[in-house]
Amino acid sequence: MWDLTIITKWAETSYDAKDIRTLQWRALISTMIFGALRPAELERMRRETTIVKDHTILTQVRTKTSGGEVIRIIINKHPNPRIDAVEALQRWLDYTKTILKDEHVWFDIEESRPANLQRINEELTAILRENGIPETFTAYSIRHAVITHFARREGADWKAINAYARWEPGSRVAQEYYTV
């Protein structure tokens, strides 16, 4: 598994970027990282249910589970503003609210339309490639890198990891498939 700090270092260096693609990339990747979201959950984010307030992101998404329940995602402010998902998403939403008037949060900028799952995967993969992460890794590997990083940082507190990743208490998914 690749090291998550590769991407967080990229986010730090691209902090002052003004171009629309980098603004979206920073918001997309930081929201995925600090929300432990799957690409499909990113695609399901909507403006009306995504609120940035009091140094927190509150959003709701439909899960990939068979029941497809709606869950709340809470992302707190990171102490480093250069990699903070709250700040990145706020900047992105502020930029797009007057230009891209749509219920979606993420956009296919080249086509001027909401980004579907395929486009979100392409954007996330482009970030990986730009940062030298080998082609064997896909957009979904970001979640694997996040969970692996979290497991190492937290000393493998599996209860906390399961809560963070929104798995059932007692799940062994992280131990068996994610912490590579």
Q: Which residue has the tokens 């992302």?
A: 75
Q: Is the pTM of this model over 0.85?
A: yes
Residue of 57, 65, 6 whose CA lies nearest to 31: 57
pLDDT of residue 67: 66
pLDDT of the chain, 180 residues: tens digit per residue: 788 899 999 999 999 888 999 999 999 999 999 998 999 999 999 999 999 988 999 998 887 665 678 888 899 999 999 999 999 999 999 888 877 777 899 999 888 889 999 999 999 999 999 999 999 999 989 988 988 888 877 567 888 888 888 888 888 888 888 765
pLDDT of residue 61: 86
Provide the domain count of the chain: 1
Q: Are 31 and 89 in contact (CB under 8 A)?
A: yes
Q: Provide the 3-class DSSP secondary structure of residue 61.
A: strand
Domain range spanning residue 133? 5-178
Q: What is the 3-state secondary structure (H, E, C) of 77-108?
A: CCCCCCCCHHHHHHHHHHHHHHHCCCCECCEE
Q: Provide the 3-class DSSP secondary structure of residue 116.
A: coil
pLDDT of residue 13: 93
pLDDT of residue 64: 67
CATH of the domain at 38: 1.10.443.10
Residue of 101, 125, 124, 104 whose CA lies nearest to 115: 104
Q: Using alpha carbons, list the distances in angstroms from residue 113 to 44, 54, 124, 146.
A: 15, 30, 17, 29
Torsion of CA 72, 78, 83, 86, to 10 degrees: 40
Residue of 43, 20, 37, 65 whose CA lies nearest to 120: 43
pLDDT of residue 68: 73
pLDDT of residue 66: 56
